[in-house]
Structure 1
């Protein structure tokens, strides 16, 4: 499967019918999700980290790429990988290592060291990745204004839109305003017509269909599925202890 296959899944969608991409954290969970009929999968860095025994953001690059490669080998559908901020790798090495896993897409976030990266600098980084990768990677540009926070006196909605425009101009295939209020997707979709938008679905928020109606093109879940699975395992463990 190629980046073109993944790219095609994002276009021509109608409101209320977004692309739903569950997040596998290992090969076994990837097989379950692919067998359920999902056309593509999106690995969550936090879920993969937990499966490897790390806190989110602390997985060594080698281990993350190896985990992504195992997931890709396990399924016949396109896989896009959350590679956080890119592990400090230059664009050429980052693209080379990612493509070596078999993944056809990636998330790149605009947070480093717990603070937002300068938007222009991040746009330049995305443009470098695009130039190196060409059409071989579907690039999902994460906008972290609602997770990392913005400077005092800055409107997070306006800053999200500013960054989304810059990242789109830099060649991002999709923009991911993670944890943004659902009502922000309408203005984003209006300001960036035709640009795929990724929404994070959370247990306490609107479901995928509603997020699609609000303007999202693509729905991901972060580590939510892995955490639900671990809660189920905990329930099994509690049952075993009570026998």
Structure 2
């Protein structure tokens, strides 16, 4: 477990460094290999949405956990970098899912709160961290709150920020090193959440055409920005565009590189 412990410490250090950690999420061995070989990449994170889509499942724990973990294990075995897994909401037993993820070679993970009662969400966070301690590693939990994801249309923005901070602080107090808030994209609201949680505690997802650039997020005090399913969508967009070009009588893009 020494190698896993080293990878876990490396991943934690990347989250606490002054420079923002940029993670392009991966979904299979070939995408992991391409991303890992890219200059500047220091860690990998899987995307549950993308892995599920690879096997024909909808997102939201519809892919069987065994199948999900098998792909994650293949990814972790194929690279020399720390790997974080999107564990969704923990598949009904966050601690056991984390234990199995660690056995698959994972040293960090996302865990959704689903806006469950806060005491239940905190208990799930504690269970994941306990699984890490039992395995002898500092598991890097990216504790996710779905306050923005599940917000009603027209929700009061101030109340939304306040609830995000309330839940995020509870996860930090339970031992999570960072808090993930998907769909948080407004500059002023990001700044408010950073102020409420502390610099280097907030992680975000980059939404094409909407999110701030990584360098600006770093200036605001964000610890990490990832891409979620959008990297797979970028790849599929390129695939569809290349196919359309061929069908229309053209050729494949001349800049196509042999990455596999």
TM-score, normalised relative to structure 1? 0.90
> Against the structure 1 CA distance between its residues 195 and 242, is the aligned structure 2 distance closer, same or farther, given a 3 Å change threshold?
closer
Q: Is there any run of 5+ residues in structure 2 with no aligned partner, and where?
A: 1-5, 250-260
Quick check: 1:138 aligned with 2:140? yes
Determine the structure 2 residue equivalent to 1:222: 228
2:43 is matched with which residue: 26, 40, 43? Answer: 40
Quick check: 1:211 aligned with 2:217? yes
Determine the structure 2 residue equivalent to 1:181: 185
**Does the aligned pair in 1 maintain the 2:165–2:197 contact within 8 Å?**
no
Quick check: 1:110 aligned with 2:113? yes
Determine the structure 2 residue equivalent to 1:12: 17
> Against the structure 1 CA distance between its residues 74 and 105, is the aligned structure 2 distance closer, same or farther, given a 3 Å change threshold?
same
Determine the structure 2 residue equivalent to 1:31: 33
1:155 is matched with which residue: 153, 159, 164? Answer: 159
1:155 is paired with a residue whose SS is helix
2:78 is matched with which residue: 74, 77, 92? Answer: 74
TM-score, normalised relative to structure 2? 0.85
Show CA shifts across 1:189-237 (max 9, x none): 2223355211111112211111222221101011011001001111122
Tell me how far apart the structure 2 counterparts of residues 222 and 95 of structure 1 sit (CA, whole Å).
19
Bigger relative CO (Cα 8 Å, ≥ 6 apart):
1
1:10 is paired with a residue whose SS is helix
Give RMSD over aligned pairs: 1.9
The 5 Å alignment of 1:118-129 reads 118-129=117-128
**Does the aligned pair in 2 maintain the 1:185–1:215 contact within 8 Å?**
no
2:150 is paired with a residue whose SS is coil
Q: Please identify runs of 4+ aligned residues in structure 1 that moved more than 3 A.
A: 150-154
Quick check: 1:96 aligned with 2:95? no
Tell me how far apart the structure 1 counterparts of residues 78 and 229 of structure 2 sit (CA, whole Å).
19
Show CA shifts across 1:135-190 (max 9, x none): 44111100111112269779211100000010001111210011113332322222
Quote how far apart the aligned CAs of 1:118 are.
1.0
1:71 is paired with a residue whose SS is helix
Report the number of matched residues. Answer: 235
Determine the structure 2 residue equivalent to 1:198: 203
Q: Is there any run of 5+ residues in structure 1 with no aligned partner, and where?
A: none
Quick check: 1:62 aligned with 2:66? yes
**Does the aligned pair in 1 maintain the 2:200–2:222 contact within 8 Å?**
no
